[in-house]
Amino acid sequence: MAFPLPALTFARMADVSPAGVLISDLLDAVFTSWSAGTDYRGTALPSTHLWGVTRKRPTVVTEAVVALPPAGTPMGLSPAILVAGRTANAGTMAAPDTSVASALQVGINKNSGAYADWSAASPMTSGQFFGYWRGGPTAMNAAGTIVRSYISAESIFTQIITSAAVQSWFYVGAIASPYNNDATNNAESDNRLYGMVASGGTSSVNASWLNLTTAAAFLNHATSAGGHHCGVFQPGTASLYPGGRRCLWGTAAVADSLIDSAGWYDGEAVEIGKSLGTNNNSGNRLGVIRGLFLAGSVQSGRYLRNGATDLYHYVSMNTGAAADGMMLPAVP
């Protein structure tokens, strides 16, 4: 079983749309979403969920957004989450991705010093960085796009909605709990695994991604540029353990298998394993994804409430109808 870490809860932030069609406009929308002090209902976020978010503007437009952990964080490795991009190719990419002009790039730096330059080999003045993955296609740079973020104390999940069933997702931070605290191979010194999951730069997340056992699905890792990618830092290093969701169900109806006998979606934990380098995640176990629980077929944007209190947020590949999705525990 996974090493016990504090359970993550998420604040759903208010939807934000870019003011224009440039990559800088999309980055400004991400900044507005991540830096807000209140959630989508106007409720103040607890201090544990207030990341230090800044915009980086080498010229007159935003080229990067950097998020530093909340004050008093239990994370011991000072992660910096970065999203970046500009109209010219730039940025140190993580294999197998390549840089694309005007495309959103997502990265994480651990043991971070001060900000240096997002497009440098080391975007922070110290620490470890394994490069960026694409956070979505250039089609996201549209005035009608919606940036919908879910912020926890140790990670950020971002859903970028181009239309109801055309979306890009990325999840960054202390995203996984290892199975033990062996600091040589399995866990960082603070017992976490830091990394990211990104849906890539060539297509939307598949509406039936829970039923896919291929690399063309969220939480999986493709060996081609622009595809879905998932990975965590190898403990104590700047190297990457690529990998993804271990699909334990053998039938095609994976979404149905997530329902209990009473018809409820109970939320199944997501186990991840190393990639074998052939679009196959059946290698050594890495851990369990924190905060994201598989929930079968749900409509994105809905919630489970007790009275006026959110218990879970539902995220799926359709904002207008039920589709394969997840449930994220809400801030109490």
Q: How far apart are CA 236 and CA 258, in angstroms?
A: 36
Express each pLDDT in 202-237 by its tens digit: 889 988 888 877 778 899 999 899 999 999 999 999
Express each pLDDT in 59-79 by its tens digit: 899 999 999 999 999 999 999
Cis peptide before 96 (omega within 30 of 0): yes
The model carries a pTM of 0.96
CB 91 within 8 A of CB 54: no
Lowest-pLDDT choice from 13-27, 104-118, 205-219, 226-240: 205-219
Express each pLDDT in 145-166 by its tens digit: 999 999 999 999 999 999 999 9
In the beta sheet, which residues pair with residue 146?
161
Q: Tokens at residue 260, please?
A: 């209990």
CA separation (Å) from 131 to 53, 92, 179?
20, 5, 25
* Half-sphere exposure (Cβ direction) of 287: Cα atoms closer than 13 Å: 33
pLDDT confidence tier of residue 248, bands split at 50, 70 and 90: low
- DSSP 8-state assignment for residue 99: -
Express each pLDDT in 272-283 by its tens digit: 999 887 777 778
Amino acid at 179: Y
